[in-house]
């Protein structure tokens, strides 16, 4: 019984040390990072789409954190420059992700800026990417006999079409696409975004 007290104290000390190093320290270091001039807050529609992104579990298969060239060839994959802390100034909770079952989406709004493409891809990924293993989200859409004024009809290739019907995007699909198109971090990296390894200066071409 007497040995349990030192073990508990040691465990609490390790936990406290880890908390200071992994939570408190980073918060003090980058918690006050200003947002880059090229980054804007999300609109109300984009925030609703962000909630759709979370609820559908997109974060489990897609990351939003391109890495530096010494860690991965993300720039060569067309995913853009490595992210820095300031890029997430308006993100809460952060959706950086850890898995890459699908491509990184940090710059999907710049890489695939077509709302029509995004809607088709959500309705049936194989309609635009035959090799895709992404699940379809038909519940974000509605099938009708004809489109009504204000409806956003989804383009589908002939093999995916339903004879005599049209597929219309629900508000949830529009919101999600608005969020995806907002993911555009092609602005220059702030010169002081990373202070220690010099990456920011390299990314900025300095």
Considering the four listed CATH numbers 3.40.50.10470, 1.10.760.10, 1.10.1040.50, 3.40.50.1970, the one that applies to the domain covering 33-203 is 1.10.760.10
Q: Give the separation between CA 178 and CA 46, rounded to whole angstroms.
A: 5
Does 195 have pLDDT greater than 50? no
% of the chain beyond a pLDDT of 70: 87
In this predicted model, what pLDDT tens digit does every residue of 50-73 receive, in sequence order? Answer: 999 999 999 999 999 999 998 999
Q: Give the separation between CA 180 and CA 20, rounded to whole angstroms.
A: 35
CB-based contacts of 192: which residues, under 8 Å, 6+ apart?
Answer: 200
How far the first Cα of the chain sits from its last, in Å, is: 62
At residue 199, the pLDDT reads 47
Does 197 have pLDDT greater than 80? no
pLDDT band at 1 (very low <50, low <70, confident <90, very high): low
CB-based contacts of 38: which residues, under 8 Å, 6+ apart?
Answer: 185, 186, 187, 188
What is the average pLDDT across 179-188?
Answer: 95
Cα distances (Å, whole numbers) of residue 63 to 7, 37, 84, 199:
38, 23, 14, 20
At residue 18, the pLDDT reads 87
Report yes or no: 179 and 42 within 8 Å, Cβ to Cβ: yes
At residue 23, the pLDDT reads 73
């Amino acid at each position: 019984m007497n040995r349990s007290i030192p073990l508990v104290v040691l465990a609490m000390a390790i936990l406290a040390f880890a908390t200071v190093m992994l939570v408190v320290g980073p918060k003090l270091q980058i918690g006050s990072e200003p947002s880059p001039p090229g980054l804007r807050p999300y609109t109300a529609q984009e925030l609703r789409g962000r909630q759709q992104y979370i609820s559908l579990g997109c974060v489990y298969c897609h990351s939003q954190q391109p890495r530096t060239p010494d860690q991965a060839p993300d720039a060569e994959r067309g995913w853009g420059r490595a992210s820095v802390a300031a890029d997430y100034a308006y993100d809460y909770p952060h959706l950086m992700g850890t898995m890459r079952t699908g491509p990184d989406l940090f710059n999907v709004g710049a890489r695939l800026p077509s709302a029509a493409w995004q809607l088709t891809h959500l309705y049936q990924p194989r309609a635009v990417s035959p090799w895709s293993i992404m699940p379809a989200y038909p519940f974000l859409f509605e099938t009708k006999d004809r489109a009504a004024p204000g409806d956003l009809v989804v383009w589908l290739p002939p093999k995916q079409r339903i004879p005599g019907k049209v597929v219309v995007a629900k508000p949830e699909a529009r919101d999600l696409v608005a969020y995806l198109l907002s993911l555009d971090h092609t602005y220059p990296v702030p010169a002081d975004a990373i202070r220690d390894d010099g990456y920011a200066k390299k990314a900025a071409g300095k």
